[in-house]
Amino acid sequence: MKKILYYDTTLRDGMQMEGISLSLDDKLKIARRLDRFGIHYVEGGWPGSNPKDLNFFKALAKSPLKQSRLVAFGSTRRARTKVTQDDNVKGLLNAKTKAVAIFGKSWDFHVTEVFGTSLKENLAMIHETVHYLKSRGLEVIYDAEHFFDGYFANPDYALETIKEAIRAGADCVSLCDTNGGMTSLKVREAVRAARDVSAVRLGIHCHNDSGLAVANSVAAVEEGCTLVQGTMNGYGERCGNADLMSIMPVLQFKLGMKSFSDEKMKELTELSRYAAEICNMPFEARQPFVGESAFAHKAGVHVNAMIKNAKTYEHLDPALVGNKRRFLISELSGKTNVLAKAKELNLKLDKDSPLTHEILKKVRDLENEGYQFEAAEASFELLVKRMMGRRKKFFSLKEFKVVDEKAENKQMVSEATVKLNVNGIEEHTAASGDGPVNALDNALRKALKKFYPVVEKIHLVDYKVRVINSEAGTAAKVRVFIQFRDDKTSWQTVGVSENIIDASWQALVEAIEYKLLKDK
Bridging pattern class, strands 5-8 and 227-230: parallel
Rounded average pLDDT over 178-196:
97
Report the C-alpha gap between 202 and 222 in whole angstroms: 12
Residue 54's identity, in one-letter code, is: L
Tens of pLDDT along 40-80? 999 999 997 778 898 999 999 999 999 999 999 999 999 99
Report the C-alpha gap between 160 and 165 in whole angstroms: 9
Q: What is the DSSP letter of 19?
A: T
pLDDT of residue 461: 84
Give the Cβ contact number of residue 403 at 10 Å.
13
Tens of pLDDT along 470-489? 555 555 788 999 998 888 78
SS3 326: strand
pLDDT interval class at 331 (50, 70, 90): low
CB 313 within 8 A of CB 300: no
pLDDT interval class at 161 (50, 70, 90): very high
pLDDT of residue 343: 75
User: Does pTM surpass 0.75?
Assistant: no
SS3 140: strand
| Mean pLDDT of the chain, nearest integer | 90
Residue 423's region, left for phi above 0, alpha for psi from -120 to 50, else beta, is left
Tens of pLDDT along 89-103? 999 999 999 999 999
Rounded average pLDDT over 238-253:
98
Give every CB contact of residue 391 below 8 A, 6+ residues apart in sequence.
382, 385, 513, 517
**Which residue segments constitute the domains of the chain, with CATH numbers given?**
5-260 (3.20.20.70), 397-451 (3.30.160)
Residue 391's region, left for phi above 0, alpha for psi from -120 to 50, else beta, is beta
Which has the closest alpha carbon to 329: 290, 307, 361? Answer: 361
SS3 41: strand
Q: Is 70 exceeded by the pLDDT of residue 403?
A: yes
pLDDT of residue 475: 56
Q: Is 70 exceeded by the pLDDT of residue 335?
A: no
Stronger pLDDT, 51 or 231, i.e. the higher one: 231
pLDDT interval class at 469 (50, 70, 90): low
Share of the chain above pLDDT 70, in %: 96
